[in-house]
A and B are shown apart, each in its own frame.
Chain A
Amino acid sequence: MSVLVNIQHVSKQYKEATRPAVSNLSMTIEKGDVFGLLGPNGAGKTTLISMLCGLFPPGTGKILINGHSHETHSRESKQAIGVVPQEIALYPKLTAWENLNFLGHMYGLKGEALKETIRMHLSVLGLEANMHQKINSYSGGMKRRVNLIAGLLHNPQLLILDEPTVGVDIQSKQAIIDHLKKMNREQGMTILYTSHHLEEAEDFCNVIAIIDHGELITQGKTKELIAQYDCNSIEEVYLKITGNKFRDK
């Protein structure tokens, strides 16, 4: 498999912070991987994802997505990624259809192809009957499903998911995970997944990286990591590496 994301010696320190949020971090994500990025609060996950999305550049080091850097090839690198934020990043007074149609156009999609893509995703995630209802009338699970579709519309090479199943019912959670697995299997879509649901991560991801204090602690195939640390689950590995201390700010 070839490398899709190449993170090389990346560091980032915020202006008023006493220590770097990300410190000399290097790792790669292979095409077709379902990559779990785990770590406690304040570990540097959000900063790393923000840099991967091109929100701001690394302080030092380089991030390449499909060989392109955000700094030199912003359009190409951004077109390659799809983002599903933890928040319901949708317009509550627009319908699901209006939201997805708008976001699809922002990705440069148009015409019948866009409509067909929206219909397909809505149908698979069980939202076709409600697509002309305003988002603010949706349940939490329905909103999460639309939020996911918004990141999938342009069939990105890398899908970045930040807690995609937080606060949803079991049925919605299952529908989301199944759809993502299908996209990964059938489209070869690479997925970068962050979550505090370690059981879900273990089930869903084939590769896992654990970061803490802005540094990469460990990275490997899920099963190999469990074996390497002589544990029974990723949760045990996680606790073994990061400890039991609270990470309150």
Chain B
Amino acid sequence: MKLLYSLYKEYKVLIRDRAGLAITFIMPTVLILIMTLIQDSTFKSVNESSVPLLYVDRDHDSLSETLEKYIANSKFFVITKKQLSNDEVKKEIAQGHYFIGIIVPEHTSQKLRERSTARIAKLLNSFSGDSTRTEAEGTDTSKIALNLFFDPITKKSFKTTISNSVERIISQIEMQGMVSALNAKMSETFPDAKPAAMETTPLVSVTEEYASYNNSTIIPNAVQHNVPAWTLFAMFFICIPLGGNIIREREDGSAFRLLTMPGSYFIVMLGKLITYTLVSLIQFGLMLLVGLLVLPLLGLPQLNTGDSLPLLFLIALSAGLAATGFGLLVGTVASTHDQAALFGAVFIIILAAIGGVWVPTFVMPDIMKTISVVSPLNWGLESFYAVFIRNSTLKEIWPEILKLWLFFGFTLGASYLFHKYKRMK
């Protein structure tokens, strides 16, 4: 009965604390919306068809047309065609209007055809034993140059990816040119023969798949990162209203009164623990709804929650207990409301930063990846990733869950010892 009334009192105090409610529920919602919208474009620039490309076709022949068709089919670029000089192309890219510029010089197709024919002729002549004679003696055999321009801010890895894509497309066009030249040569030698049709598509293909359990093929995106990340941030930010609540009770003498009642102080602390853990679970549910219902309305991908709701609940409960335990510790250690707010906020921001809330750990340098494992927010975040993206089971994530429970136990123990120390002091 005492616990029930303690819960009721905490509920009443919480529900009438508008500033506390705003920190608890509105702040994470706003953070998720803003951060997801900001980061979505970054994720898209790497994952989706949004690379702006300037295409300058001075060839107006088969190569440039085929290259353009291939680039368009790759669905990796947004192509803009213009007739500009090299300097103008450089300027457009330098101004950030395009990530990449491709110039196909005049007569490139013609040159390709001539070189292909020369190579085929050389090949066939070598079969007939006359390796010195070519049918196209005097043909220019130097390499045909295509000009690629990149925005200087483009990352090296991204530049290499784009260059490789363009080179692969050109290789296919070259191969087609060689086959056409071979057909033409064969037709001259064997006028009655039908031209050979040869596939030029690659014989070896590489299949790419995200390694995950239960064949999940969900690709990490801004939503999959930001919803769990900022939910955990908000859960741990509970240390400020909870710490403030404990300090207020101490300052106004309520804690003193409760300590003089038989067994009541620990019942009241248990009431706070349960109430604020429930609040963190409500936060989690609310943020899931934001990911499922609100973000798609803003043109963002819908949150994929994976296959196991009970496991998500277990992670949220574990993170909620860890966060509440931390709040109890902050409220016990800090002497004033200002101290609790400052210490709590700074500590959570540091834990969030190293835990991968702002910048995911998989893009962090190795040293930061190593450091990130000390953050309880990282344990929660890794668990959510595992369920959201890899469809992991408890078997895979239990070490992270255990860490959260141990952190909870540590904060409770430390709070008790510090409380005792303060009383004796």
Contacts and interface: CB of A to CB of B under 8 A. Distances in A.
A24 B2 CA distance: 38
Given A88-B252, A101-B5, A108-B2, A78 B257 contact: no
Determine the interface band of chain A, counting residues with CB < 8 A from chain B.
35 or more
B262 A74 contact: yes
A81 interface: yes
A94 B5 CA distance: 13
A83 B423 CA distance: 17
B272 to A, nearest CB: 13
A20 to B, nearest CB: 15
Nearest to A85: B253
A86 B257 CA distance: 11
B8 interface: yes
Nearest to B254: A89
B12 A54 contact: no
A81 B257 CA distance: 11
Interface string A66-77: 000000001100
A150 B13 contact: no
Nearest to A102: B9
A52 to B, nearest CB: 9
A98 interface: yes
B425 interface: yes
Interface in A65-113: 74-75, 78-79, 81, 83, 85-94, 98, 101-103, 105-108, 110
A53 interface: yes
B262 A75 contact: yes
A229 interface: no
Candidate in A14, A83, A88 with the most chain B CB atoms within 10 angstroms: A83
B257 A89 contact: yes
B393 interface: no
B310 interface: no
Interface string B258-296: 111111100110000000000000000000000000000
A55 B256 contact: yes
A15 interface: yes
Contacts of B254: 89-91
Of A16, A78, A89, A101, which is in contact with the most chain B CB atoms at under 10 Å from its CB? A89
A83 to B, nearest CB: 4
Contacts of A92: 252
B2 A106 contact: yes
Contacts of A105: 1-2, 5
Contact of A85 (B1, B257, B262, B268): B257
B425 A53 contact: no
A87 B253 contact: yes
Contact of B258 (A98, A106, A151): A106
Contacts, number: 84
B16 interface: yes
B252 A106 contact: no
Nearest to A156: B260
A16 B423 CA distance: 13
Contacts of B204: none
Interface in A7-57: 14-16, 53-56
Contacts of B5: 101-102, 105-106
A55 B263 contact: no
Nearest to A77: B262
Of the four ranges (under 10, 10 to 19, 20 to 34, 35 or more), the interface on chain B belongs to 20 to 34
A106 B12 contact: no
A223 B201 CA distance: 115
Contacts of B256: 53, 55, 83, 85, 87, 89
A172 B51 CA distance: 77
A107 B260 CA distance: 10
A86 B254 CA distance: 11
A56 B424 contact: yes
Contact of B263 (A56, A75, A110): A75
Contacts of A94: 9, 12-13, 16
A78 B259 CA distance: 9
Contacts of A86: 253
Nearest to B245: A91
B48 interface: no
Given A78-B261, A83-B256, A93 B13 contact: yes
Contacts of B12: 93-94, 98
Q: Name, among A78, A88, A151, the residue most crowded by chain B CB atoms within 10 Å (CB to CB).
A: A78
Interface string A108-125: 101000000000000000
B17 interface: yes
Contact of B264 (A98, A101, A106, A151): A106
Contacts of A89: 252-254, 256-257
A32 B394 CA distance: 64
Contacts of B253: 85-89
B252 A90 contact: yes
Given A89-B254, A105-B5, A14 B259 contact: no
A83 B261 CA distance: 9
Contacts of A107: 261-262, 264
Nearest to B423: A56
A55 B2 contact: no
Interface in B1-35: 1-2, 5-6, 8-9, 12-13, 16-17
Given A78-B261, A86-B253, A93-B17, 15 more contacts: A78-B260, A78-B262, A83-B256, A85-B253, A87-B252, A87-B256, A88-B253, A98-B9, A102-B6, A105-B1, A106-B258, A106-B267, A107-B264, A108-B2, A108-B262
The 3 residue pairs across chains A and B that have the minimum distance between CB atoms? A87-B253, A89-B253, A105-B5
14 contacts: A54-B260, A55-B260, A74-B262, A85-B256, A85-B257, A87-B252, A93-B12, A102-B8, A105-B1, A105-B5, A106-B2, A106-B268, A107-B261, A108-B262
